[in-house]
């Protein structure tokens, strides 16, 4: 009953039409007709319809549905634009100026499924494209990119003295490293956690981190050292 009422009720987002008409072309009916039903008031008859009449009816229905869908599409877009305008008017504008140094949220994949935003910088704002989009400059390469204000955080104003130390830190933070191969495995005594020794700066890293970043390197390590004492424990953590 409730679903029938929703499907047969005119809605503003559908240009004043009911979902049943938008989807099928049928006129909506009164939901009470299902409750108050008198079979004797309905006359049933048989009418022969020619193939030409059926084809003409189908063509008329298709044209009618096209017009309905165009009206609904226009109405929906107009409502979305209205809502976007209201949201933009009530939204505070980012308070950044040309020359300011900012941090930029860079999306990085830390797991196989999710992206995480990591703040990188400083970058220098070189232009304001509109109230919410800025052009920022890489202080080392001079490369520009366009960033939305929601992904910018103030680092310092235009008076910042960009020293070689700041540039070096910027370069280090934005560098990317790849694990070439895993060399050994051991159990960390303080926590009992399994760690792998990789060629990523020749350091010990947690097994879970290596599996997320370089699962192929872990599998290759197991192939090279099939008799390693931690072989079975490492295999337990590998995804099936």
* Domain boundaries, given as residue ranges, for the chain: 2-38+47-89, 101-173, 182-237
Extract long-range pairs of 124-131: CB within 8 Å, 24+ residues apart. Answer: 124/99, 124/100, 125/96, 125/97, 125/98, 125/99, 125/100, 125/101, 126/98, 127/98, 128/96, 128/98, 131/93, 131/94
Host H or E run for residue 135: strand 133-138
Element housing 148 (H / E): strand 144-148
142-189 per-position pLDDT tens digit = 889 898 888 888 888 777 777 777 777 776 666 555 566 666 767 665
Q: What is the pLDDT of residue 126?
A: 92
Prediction pTM value: 0.41
pLDDT at 180: 63
Strands 115-128, 133-138: pairing kind:
antiparallel
H/E run at residue 105:
strand 101-109
Least confident of 24-38, 44-58, 126-140, 194-208: 194-208
Q: How confident is the model at residue 195 (pLDDT cuts 50, 70, 90)?
A: low
DSSP at 154:
E
Over the stretch 121-144, which tens digit does the pLDDT of each residue have?
889 999 988 778 899 998 888 889
Which listed CATH number (3.30.530, 2.30.30, 3.30.70, 3.30.450) goes with 101-173? 2.30.30
């Amino acid at each position: 009953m409730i679903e029938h009422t929703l499907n047969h009720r005119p809605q503003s987002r559908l240009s004043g039409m009911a979902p049943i008409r938008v989807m099928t072309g049928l006129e909506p009916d009164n939901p009470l007709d299902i409750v108050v039903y008198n079979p004797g008031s309905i006359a049933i008859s048989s009418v022969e319809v020619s193939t030409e009449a059926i084809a003409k009816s189908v063509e008329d229905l298709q044209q009618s549905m096209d017009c309905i869908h165009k009206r609904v599409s226009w109405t929906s877009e107009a409502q979305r634009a209205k809502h976007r305008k209201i949201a933009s008017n009530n939204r505070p504008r980012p308070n950044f100026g040309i020359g300011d140094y900012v941090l930029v949220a860079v999306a990085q994949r830390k797991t196989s499924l999710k992206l995480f935003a990591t703040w990188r910088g400083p970058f220098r704002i070189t232009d304001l494209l509109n109230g919410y989009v800025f052009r920022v400059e890489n202080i080392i390469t001079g490369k520009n990119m366009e960033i939305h204000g929601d992904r910018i955080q103030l680092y310092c104003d235009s008076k910042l003295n960009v020293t070689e130390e700041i540039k070096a830190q910027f370069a280090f933070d934005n560098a990317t490293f790849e694990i070439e191969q895993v060399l050994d495995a051991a159990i960390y005594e303080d926590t009992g956690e399994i760690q792998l020794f990789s060629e990523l700066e020749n350091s010990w890293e947690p097994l879970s981190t290596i599996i997320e970043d370089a699962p192929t390197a872990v599998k290759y390590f197991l192939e090279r050292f099939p008799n390693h004492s931690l072989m079975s424990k490492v295999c337990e953590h590998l995804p099936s």
